[in-house]
């Protein structure tokens, strides 16, 4: 035994894999002290709140066209002004939040469900099953999300659903790799051996030992993937292969105003800022969660 148990940042037992934290009390303390976690949750709740509010109320009808009011500057009536069809920009942005959240939830849901399942199967089955699953994941990595979406759209036609599907499919290998890597790390621990020695089946071990120990990594990755999904959807809508009119979408707002930026630059600023703030909030939240949930778990993007 050496002095490895000594606290201290460079000599601390970072590879000893010892649990230092995760006592409930210290989780709360760390949570409140963690600045990026706080900032992230505030931004994310803002987004969620905005989307929620827009379900019941927006300053104006986001789809109502009013040519006389087109390209109005910000005023008391239209806080952020109007677009080229006279629609209220604030209302569109608020409603657009719904779209982003929906895309994020569904796409991450698809990726999470299938990815984690595949990763856990790969880690518990080992051998050729693991090899096969991982090779398929590698293969999927060769298709960038946009390309995948383009192919889907090319075969099935444009539309929000296909875009979400493409984003979700693209997230599968990421979750699968992460789940497998973290699950393998847990499988090699002695407490799993102890559970095997106790006679537990691989499924029970996965459920009782593996999953609880990797859930924090998965949650962190889910927030990051949520952010990526919002970005990807915006890009696809911008290219015209994402959500279709009249559904308000931040990405499509940008493509619609592109020719007008020289007249009224703010038209391009608002939706972009909305995307950036959403993504920033989710990324900060993910970063914070990573530190708060478990400071020792290694994570890879």
Partner 1 sequence: MTLLTVDDLSVSLDTAQGRAQAVRDLSFDLGPGDTLGIVGESGCGKTMSALAILGLLPDNAVTTGAIRLNDRDLLNCTEAEWCDIRGNQIAMIFQEPMTSLNPVHPIGRQIMEGMFLHRALSKAQALEETIRLLETVGIQNAAERLKHYPHQLSGGQRQRVMIAIALANQPRLLIADEPTTAVDVTIQKQILGLINKLIDEFDMGLVLISHDLGVIAKLVERVIVMYGGVAVETGSVETIFSDPAHPYTCGLLSAIPRIDRSTHSRHKRLPTIPGVVPDLVDMPAGCTFSDRCSLATDTCRTVPPVPVVLSSHHQVACYHLDRARAQWQTGPR
Partner 2 sequence: MKFFLIKRLSTFAATLFAATLLTFFALEILPGDPALVILGVDAPDSAVAALREQLGLNRPVTERYIDWISHFLRGELGVSYTYSVPVSELLRERLAITIPLALMAMALSVVIAFSLGIYAATHHNRHGDVLVMGVSQLGISIPNFWLALMLILLFAVNLGWFASGGFPGWYAGWWPALKALILPAIALATVQGAILARFTRSATLETMREDYVRTARAKGLNRRQTLWRHVLRNAMISVVTVMGLQFANLLAGTIVVESVFALPGIGRLILQSIANRDVVVVRDIVTLLVAMVVIINLVVDLLYALIDPRLRSSDV
Partner 3 sequence: MNRPESNNTLALEVIDLCKTYVLPRDNLFRPARSVKAVAGVSFQIKAGQSLGLVGESGCGKSTLARLIMGLEIPTSGTVRISGSDIGRLSRKELQPLRRKFQIVFQDPFGSLDPRQTVSQIVAEPLEALETAPRTQIRTRVIAALDDVGLKNSDAAKYPHEFSGGQRQRIAIARALVTRPGLIIADEPVSALDVSVQAQILNLLQDLRDEYALTYLLISHNLAVVEHFCDNVAVMHNGIFVEYGLTSQIFQKPSHSYTKTLLDAVLPTPSHS
Listed residue (233, 131, 129, 217) closest to 175, CA to CA: 217
Residue whose CB is less far from partner 2, 32 or 154: 154
Residue whose CB is less far from partner 2, 21 or 140: 140
Partner interacting with residue 25 (select from partner 3, partner 2, partner 1, none; CB below 5-8 Å by kind): none
CA distances (Å), origin 48, targets 24, 42, 110, 270? 27, 10, 20, 17
The residue ranges that bind partner 2 (CB under 8 A) are 10, 14, 36, 135, 138-139, 141-147, 150-151, 153-155, 157, 227, 231, 234-235, 238-241, 251, 254, 258, 261-262, 265, 268-269, 271-272, 275-277, 279-280, 283-284, 287, 300-301
Partner interacting with residue 235 (select from partner 1, partner 2, partner 3, none; CB below 5-8 Å by kind): partner 2
Question: What distance in Å separates the CA atoms of residue 249 and residue 94, rounded to the nearest whole number?
Answer: 10
CB of 223 to partner 2, least distance (A): 13
Contact set for partner 1, span 8-47 (CB under 8 A): 8-11
* The binder of partner 1 chosen from 5, 14, 64, 204 (CB under 8 A): 5
Q: What are 184-187's contacts with CB under 8 Å, separation 24+?
A: 184/123, 186/210, 186/213, 186/214, 187/123, 187/124
CB of 23 to partner 3, least distance (A): 7
Question: What distance in Å separates the CA atoms of residue 135 and residue 244, rounded to the nearest whole number?
Answer: 35
Residues 6+ away with beta carbon under 8 Å from 22: 293, 294
* CB-based burial, 221-249: b 16+ in 10 Å, e otherwise: bbbbbbbbbbbbbbbbbbbebbbeeebbb
76 binds partner 1 (CB under 8 A): no
Residue whose CB is less far from partner 1, 20 or 147: 20
Residue 193: CA atoms inside 13 Å, Cβ hemisphere, count? Answer: 4
* CB-based burial, 265-276: b 16+ in 10 Å, e otherwise: eebbebbeebbe
* The binder of partner 3 chosen from 7, 8, 127, 199 (CB under 8 A): 199
Partner interacting with residue 3 (select from partner 3, partner 1, partner 2, none; CB below 5-8 Å by kind): partner 1
Residue whose CB is less far from partner 3, 15 or 301: 15
* The binder of partner 3 chosen from 84, 98, 196, 255 (CB under 8 A): 196
Contact 252, 103 (CB under 8 A): no
Residue whose CB is less far from partner 2, 210 or 248: 248
CB of 30 to partner 1, least distance (A): 9
Contact 133, 221 (CB under 8 A): no
CB of 10 to partner 1, least distance (A): 4
Contact set for partner 1, span 226-265 (CB under 8 A): none
CB of 29 to partner 3, least distance (A): 16
Contact 196, 156 (CB under 8 A): no
Contact set for partner 3, span 174-193 (CB under 8 A): 189-191, 193
Question: What distance in Å separates the CA atoms of residue 174 and residue 23, rounded to the nearest whole number?
Answer: 29
**Site of interaction with partner 1 (CB under 8 A):** 1-11
């Amino acid at each position: 035994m050496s002095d490895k148990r000594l606290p201290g940042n460079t000599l601390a037992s970072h590879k000893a894999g010892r649990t230092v934290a995760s006592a409930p009390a210290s989780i709360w303390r760390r949570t409140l002290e963690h600045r990026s976690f706080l900032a992230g949750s505030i931004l994310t709740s803002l987004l969620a709140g905005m989307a929620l509010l827009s379900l019941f109320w927006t300053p104006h009808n986001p789809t109502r066209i009013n040519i006389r009011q087109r390209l109005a500057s910000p005023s008391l009536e239209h806080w952020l002004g109007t677009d080229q069809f006279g629609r209220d920009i604030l209302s569109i942005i608020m409603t657009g939040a719904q779209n982003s959240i929906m895309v994020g939830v569904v796409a991450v849901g698809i990726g999470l469900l299938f990815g984690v399942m595949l990763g856990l199967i790969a880690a518990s089955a080992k051998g050729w099953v693991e090899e096969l699953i991982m090779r398929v994941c590698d293969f999927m990595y060769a298709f960038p999300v946009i390309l995948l979406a383009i192919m889907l759209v090319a075969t099935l036609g444009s539309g929000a659903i296909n875009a979400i599907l493409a984003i979700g499919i693209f997230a599968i290998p990421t979750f699968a790799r992460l789940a497998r890597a973290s699950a393998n790390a847990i499988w090699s621990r002695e407490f799993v051996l102890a559970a095997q020695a106790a006679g537990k089946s691989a499924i029970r071990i996965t459920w009782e030992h593996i999953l609880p120990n990797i859930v924090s990594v998965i949650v962190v990755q889910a927030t990051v993937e949520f952010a990526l999904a919002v970005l990807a959807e915006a890009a696809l809508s911008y290219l015209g292969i994402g959500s279709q009119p009249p559904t308000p979408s931040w990405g499509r707002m940008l493509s619609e105003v592109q020719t007008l930026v020289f007249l009224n630059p703010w038209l391009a600023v608002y939706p972009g800022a909305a995307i950036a703030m959403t993504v920033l909030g989710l990324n900060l939240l993910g970063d914070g969660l990573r530190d708060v949930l478990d400071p020792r778990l290694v994570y890879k993007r």
